[in-house]
Structure 1
């Protein structure tokens, strides 16, 4: 119980002990509605409702010669690129702010809530020497949503079983699929949030939704929802946001079963796309599990999408991604091994199976100082004009992380890219590309974080990034 509640209770008890003071202290005998609902943080209350406020602001500035990229190895579902020197400085400046209000009251079915989250992204990116043509510049947002907009607006009611309706994020579980090794894996890095999701963890989730989730006890949760009912296909151009409804894709049926217990987390998510026109155009499944056994962790995940993008890109693709990762933690060091596979069938570009693996060793050399050594490999199964054109990419790196003080951390990394995927690219002056980076991070407390990072590679590209952020709740 909060200190405020204890004080109020003590004063109320004292008031009840003396009839003469009872009337004067009567207002203090009722606990604050936020306390009664078990809510804390930055709150405002009335007699029946508790309003929780949270928000945050982040800033990022990038400067350097980095926006011209030479492709290292590209496949339909994985794209890796290296910045090269084009003789002109690029920069980007971005302010992101959000404010969220959650109003909660008690009901016969559990807490009843109304959630509103407003977000603004103010972004300018300057790209000089566009397409390698000197003096041709571009100022754009690279397709990222900008401006002031409502990010979430929905109502919910319930305790162990919760009904939600409105504009919100998806209930789909897409976790338990990130590799443990510190460099990650190439195909996994080509996915938003890393992992085995397809096309940025699927298109057509969240948005206008009706959802129900239920806690069955013993760590088991189930959920079902109708999402993407508005199917706003965003066109984030310099003129702002314009939406076009894809009738065939509108409506996504989502089903989730998950488990979280001692030493084990797991989930299965099923997705059916294009429900509202009466015919499910495409379906997908995402499953993952992580088990912890003493000093070891094991993670496995698989993702499959039938009729990917409804045949609108590269034919009627069926895509499958899978990943397996193992980590062992010992007294002074940590070892991690990971592998991945990406299979495409039925596409206009033909069938392919890409695969990769990676590993790392982390050593705690002294208190607050860690060294990570890692490598990863990717095989790109490519057939161009009927001719086998397979490509391979290697990356090796050494990283040191040092906690200089309780609030300051320094990270340095050197490494290189190798393989015929680089040798075959005319944008690179040689078959190998080396790089180095250094970052200084400062977190003095109060939720404030900041960092400055510098990067450079042997193609004469460079980038300096400054970040600062603060959130409250």
Structure 2
């Protein structure tokens, strides 16, 4: 219920007692400014401004023996590393220390004050965010056996995650601190296990796992041209102190001192021009995002393109996506992905493939490829199963560089609010390592009673001795 409803009700009751108070009710009719601006949810109004308040809290607790990383089993893709969970016990004074745990709280609150103008709604947005995580590895002894080396305490610092102004309706101008306008969507594989390299870059295709060069301090323009076409343009990363750019090396100067180089490298990568063209309609969504980084010094140090398209045609969905980046040090990187899905009365079949490659200082690097597929079936109402596998070849120039995963999953909706998910599978590799397979099992109980509240408990155990129990709870308000 809106706060303005409470205010109106209280003042109306008081206004019935005297004519003076009744006259004041005419002023409070301006509280409808939120409705006139099309803003709903938790709001507070004045004569010409609507303040919308949103927020949320997420909590996660993990306990077990899981902080190790089974490198021999992992897939080391060009854009990131995907390793299997492992234990990493230490022995101190004849006593084995093996328990790991971590506790994390994420919270945010966002205030958006909006008023009407001749150019459309004018807003000022402030978002406060906090992440507090405490990690304990091997009961505090870490991997070295030194007391206290396995403790990482969160500081609970509240940061201003967003602070920007915007104005406009079909064309919107934004400036301040906020996220990027870049579109990196339409690129996730449809099969339920996904793909190995896709996981390493946050499920999709990308030219770097992390993006220190977009968002931040920005000036942006977004325009809806109608008929599903949207264009975006922005100048971002104006506050950059990043020394990495699009996942490629920063130009180096061996004659400089380390401190001077660090500062210059950061400055050379500041300023990223971003342009986006999007389309959504007639069963098709598509986009092209172009980026040029390090422009504020007058020289483009790096550039990149990300594109994706998804088509939905009756029982079929198809998707294709690609990313490419290059810099002025003759480094290039490309990543492509394709996926298709067919849905029938009881069955769903999906097949996906991916590949990566590029050059390092002008010399070609090995092309890496991966495939994945799955079949899903609805057994009864509320009960479904998924069978799938995925494979990846690092192709690093040596033999025995393949890794794989095969899994079976059961999903059962016990009620409208409770869902149970179980999974068994195996990771494997043909690398020359001591343990070439790792069987695992996992089960999760998820609860969504309504009101935006969600919670879950999950247990996972591996053949290599690792295990973990995870509890999650979250709630957002809008």
Classify the TM-score, shorter chain: 0.7 to 0.9
CA distance in 1, matches of 2:399, 2:363: 13
Contact 1:224/1:255 (CA < 8 Å) preserved in 2? yes
Q: Does 1:65 align with 2:103?
A: no
Trace 1:239-388 onto structure 2 (pairs within 5 A). Answer: 246-307=266-327, 316-347=330-361, 351-383=365-397, 388=398
Deviations 1:263-318 (A, max 9, x none): 000000000010101001000000000000000000000000112xx65xxxx521
Find 1:76's aligned residue among 75, 78, 87: 78
Kindly state the Cα deviation for residue 207 of structure 1 after the two structures are TM-superposed: 0.1
8 Å contact from structure 1 (residues 303, 320) kept in 2: yes
Structure 2 unmatched runs, 5+: 9-21, 90-97, 245-261
User: TM (normalized to structure 2)?
Assistant: 0.85
Given the alignment of the two structures, is residue 434 of structure 1 paired with residue 460 of structure 2, yes or no? no
Q: Residue 96 of structure 1: CA displacement?
A: 0.8
Which position in structure 1 is the counterpart of 2:107? 97
1:425 to 2:413 alignment: no
- The equivalences for 1:125-164 within 5 A come to 125-128=135-138, 132-135=143-146, 137-140=149-152, 147-164=157-174
Alpha-carbon separation, structure 1, partners of 2:221 and 2:300 = 21
- Give, in whole Å, the separation in 2 of the partners of 1:132 and 1:124: 17
Alpha carbons 1:78, 1:186 under 8 Å: kept? no
1:455-466 to 2 correspondences below 5 Å: 455-466=460-471
How far apart are the structure 1 equivalents of 2:63 and 2:276?
43
**What's the CA shift for 1:126?**
1.5
**Are 1:32 and 2:32 an aligned pair?**
yes
| Contact kept in structure 1, 2:143 and 2:150, CA below 8 Å | no
Contact 2:243 2:269 in 1 (8 A): no
**Which among 210, 215, 235 is matched to residue 226 of structure 1?**
235
- How far apart, in 1, do the equivalents of 2:25 and 2:82 lie? 68
1:442 partner SS: strand
SS at match of 1:233: coil
SS at match of 1:326: strand
Distance 1:45 1:362, change over 3 A: same
How far apart are residue 347 of structure 1 and its match?
Answer: 4.9
Write the distance in 1 (CA, Å) between the matches of 2:232 and 2:51: 27
Are the counterparts in 2 of residues 68 and 131 from structure 1 also a CA contact under 8 Å?
no
Residues 202/390 of structure 1: CA separation in 2 closer, same or farther (3 Å cut): farther
Per the alignment, do residues 270 and 390 of structure 1 end up closer, same or farther by CA in structure 2, a change over 3 Å counting? Answer: farther
The answer to whether the 8 Å contact 2:123/2:167 transfers is yes
CA distance in 1, matches of 2:155, 2:78: 23
CA RMSD in angstroms, aligned pairs only: 2.6
Is there any run of 5+ residues in structure 1 with no aligned partner, and where?
A: 9-21, 236-242
1:13-36 per-residue CA deviation (whole Å, 9 max, x = no partner) reads xxxxxxxxx968645765611111
Q: 1:116 to 1:23 in 2, by over 3 A?
A: closer
In the aligned structure 2, how far is the partner of 1:33 from the partner of 1:449?
A: 33
Q: Deviations over 1:87-135 (max 9, x none)?
A: 3111111111100000000000000000000001111112238785445
Q: Which consecutive segments of 4 or more residues in structure 1 shift more than 4 A? A: 22-31, 129-132, 347-350
Cα–Cα, structure 1 residues 342 and 31, in superposed 2: closer, same or farther, change >3 Å? same
TM-score (norm 1): 0.86
2:48 is matched with which residue? 48
Distance in 1 between residues matched to 2:206 and 2:424, nearest whole Å: 29
Q: 1:86: Cα distance to partner? A: 2.6
